[in-house]
Amino acid sequence: NFANSVVPLFTKHGCNSGGCHGKSSGQNGFKLSLLGFEPQEDYEYLLREARGRRIFPAAPERSLLLLKATGQLPHGGGSRIDAGSFDYRMLVKWIRQGMPYGKPNDPKLESITLHPAERIMKPSARQQLVVLARMSDGSIEDITHSAVYEANDREYADADNTGLVTVGSHSGEIAVMVRYQDKATVFRASIPLGVPVDKLPEEKNFVDKFIFAKLKTVGMPPSELAPDSTYLRRVTLDIAGRMPTVEEAQAFLADTSPDKREKRVARLLHSEEYAEYFANKWSSLLRNKRANGAQLRTTIAFYDWIKESFYTNKPYDRFVREIVAASGDIDQSPPSAW
């Protein structure tokens, strides 16, 4: 089945990425749909375009598709697949079978599961992941060799294209995203420092419960409580994006109430400075910047809406929904600018 067995290989080796044949204009005369989301189009590109010269059914190994992918012929992307590898053999088999697209009633992918999903690992240890696909007919297929693996921080861990995860010598947390077709899941691992965590501060909120549990798992004692002056500087920078004023510092240091830190956080979160600071952050994330002077009003309207959302403590799910589902004129619905 072309969509289930062949397209994922193009994704795995980066052939249909935005920087290669998946960009809107293709690459060097050959185009694929971005990340394989249009397999029917990809099938037509491969078999019909350029008079079908990319596939050679009489001698699959001599197909232009494979000669370029293995680096036997000049290829702008270099060698992407090793001749004789599992992926290479899969493509040869598909061509030898007559390049079938598949039948309308062929099973379709419903979900993927990862084994193991999480682990505690020692420094420099390795873990082989196994990825299983559940199909619409209830069958289970091993797709470990066809999935894409991306570690979130290669300083801590890396994953090769067979699903083998190797952690480094640092302690901490790692995550490896696993993708297959339009499904994704994550492998998580903790690399403990190995120090006993016997003493923990008092929990101040529900987030602390999870942080302290994780510190125990990774064997990492919490830092000592920061002095008042250091705490005030850090919390003001983090929430309001500025240094505390002299008056704020004097008042905070003179305050002897046991909950003065919590009060300071609440005061900052209700300030206009917090709303402005985080509106700037989210404007950057959402790329709310238009160089065209005629569109400046649109940029300002969306920025003001983001700022107001933070100032009124709008729930995150509502914030996202109002942006994604926005419609109408920017005067009535500023998120429609996005």
Q: Are 189 and 173 in contact (CB under 8 A)?
A: yes
Query: SS3 string of 19-82?
Result: CCCCCCCCECCECCCHHHCCHHHHHHHHHCHHHHCCCCCCCHHHCHHHHHHCCCCCCCCCCCCC
Please check whether residue 122 lies inside any domain of the structure.
yes
Q: Do 164 and 126 share a structural domain?
A: yes
Angle formed at CA 222 by CA 265 and CA 242, multiple of 5 degrees: 30
Q: Mean per-residue pLDDT for 315-324?
A: 96
Q: Do 118 and 70 share a structural domain?
A: no
Show the domain range for 252.
228-270
Please check whether residue 18 lies inside any domain of the structure.
yes
Q: Do 317 and 239 share a structural domain?
A: no
Q: Do 117 and 91 share a structural domain?
A: no
Q: Do 177 and 127 share a structural domain?
A: yes
Q: Which residues pair with 185 in a beta bridge?
A: 178
Q: Do 72 and 8 share a structural domain?
A: yes
Q: Do 292 and 321 share a structural domain?
A: yes
pLDDT (tens digit per residue) in 31-40: 888 888 888 8
Please check whether residue 265 lies inside any domain of the structure.
yes
* Helix spans in 246-313 (H): 246-254, 260-269, 272-285, 296-311
Q: Are 164 and 185 in contact (CB under 8 A)?
A: no
pLDDT (tens digit per residue) in 187-235: 999 999 888 898 898 898 899 999 999 898 888 889 888 999 999 999 9
From CA 228, how far away is CA 261, in angstroms rounded? 8
pLDDT of residue 178: 96
Residue in 72, 70, 16 with CA at minimum distance from that of residue 46: 16
Phi and psi at 161, nearest 5°, equal -80, 5
* 151 pLDDT above the threshold of 90: yes
Q: Do 68 and 7 share a structural domain?
A: yes
Please check whether residue 222 lies inside any domain of the structure.
no
Domain boundary among 36, 61, 96: 96
Q: Do 299 and 239 share a structural domain?
A: no
Helix (H) or strand (E) run with residue 185 in it: strand 183-191
84 token code pair: 């004789």
Q: How many domains does the chain divide into?
A: 4
Please check whether residue 202 lies inside any domain of the structure.
no
Q: Do 260 and 298 share a structural domain?
A: no
Percent of the residues in the chain that have a pLDDT greater than 90, as a whole number:
58
pLDDT of residue 315: 97
pLDDT of residue 271: 96
Angle formed at CA 306 by CA 301 and CA 295, multiple of 5 degrees: 25
SS3 of residue 301 by DSSP: helix
* 241 pLDDT above the threshold of 80: yes
Q: Are 159 and 86 in contact (CB under 8 A)?
A: no
Least confident of 39-43, 150-154, 288-292: 288-292
Where would I find the beta strands (DSSP E) of 67-155? Answer: 109-115, 118-120, 126-128, 130-135, 140-142, 148-151
* 80 pLDDT above the threshold of 80: yes
SS3 of residue 16 by DSSP: coil
Q: Do 251 and 183 share a structural domain?
A: no
Please check whether residue 210 lies inside any domain of the structure.
no
Please check whether residue 181 lies inside any domain of the structure.
yes
Task: Report the CATH number at residue 150.
Answer: 2.60.40.10
Q: Do 261 and 244 share a structural domain?
A: yes
* 294 pLDDT above the threshold of 70: no
Domain boundary among 96, 120, 139: 96
Please check whether residue 197 lies inside any domain of the structure.
no
- Alpha carbon 258 to chain centroid, angstroms: 41
